[in-house]
Amino acid sequence: MLKKILIAFAFICITFFANKTFAQLPVVPLANQKALLQSNEPTLAANKKLVYDCWREVLEGGHLELADKYLAENYMQHNPGVPTGRKGFVDFFSKFAKPQPIVDTIKAPVIAIVAEGNLVVTGFAATLPEPTDSTKTYTTTWFDMFRIENGKLEEHWDGAQKQKINN
């Protein structure tokens, strides 16, 4: 009986303290974003720069008039909250994006920009509220992937989920 109690106590201690003992490492963005754009393959470097510039100018800069420069007309969107097509993208973001000065780097905390073939993946650090303690936060990652065709963004994927709309 004592053995069962000790095993149960050990299990409870491990379960209780594991969250603190085996805490994740914080996600840290890279300081030099421009270094992420480099590649020995010119096409990969150009694809990375296309995504990087679109992110800075259109998404963060709010310059939706530049969407034609970056997005294919039939741009395919796999984010469940954003319509597909360049027009759908512009219509959606025009509801809240306001043009701002375009800066040299992405404002979001970039951790990686990786290209392979016609795909580019961007990784970002995200700070979110701790679900079990709203006074604390934790870091995690967010990824976006784009498919490039003929020098334009043709398709987009990310981890977005449908959100409940509160009326």
Is there a domain that residue 101 lies in? yes
Q: How many domains does the chain have?
A: 1
Pairwise pLDDT comparison (143 vs 17), residue with the higher score: 143
Q: Are 127 and 108 in contact (CB under 8 A)?
A: no
Is there a domain that residue 40 lies in? yes
Separation between Cα atoms, residue 52 and residue 34, nearest integer Å: 9
Is there a domain that residue 7 lies in? no
Q: Are 111 and 25 in contact (CB under 8 A)?
A: no
3-state secondary structure of 115: strand
Got the DSSP string for 120-165?
Answer: EEEEEEEEEEETTEEEEEEEEEEEEEEEEETTEEEEEEE-----PP
Is there a domain that residue 165 lies in? no
Is there a domain that residue 167 lies in? no
Is there a domain that residue 131 lies in? yes
The enclosing domain of 99 has a CATH number of: 3.10.450.50
Q: What are the phi and psi torsion angles at 162 (to 5°)?
A: -60, 140
Q: What percent of the chain has pLDDT over 70?
A: 86
Q: What percent of the chain has pLDDT over 90?
A: 69
Is there a domain that residue 13 lies in? no
pLDDT tens-place string over residues 103-117: 999 999 999 999 999
Q: Average pLDDT, stretch 42-49?
A: 98
pLDDT tens-place string over residues 4-41: 565 655 555 455 555 554 557 888 888 799 999 999 99
Is there a domain that residue 5 lies in? no
| pLDDT value of position 31 | 76
Alpha-carbon torsion angle 9, 12, 16, 18, nearest 10: 90
Candidate from 48-52, 79-83, 109-113, 160-164 with smallest mean pLDDT:
160-164
Q: Are 61 and 69 in contact (CB under 8 A)?
A: no
| Mean per-residue pLDDT of the chain | 88
The domain in which residue 125 lies consists of 25-158
For strands 71-77 and 152-158, give the pairing: parallel
Residues comprising the chain, all counted: 167
Q: Average pLDDT, stretch 127-137?
A: 91
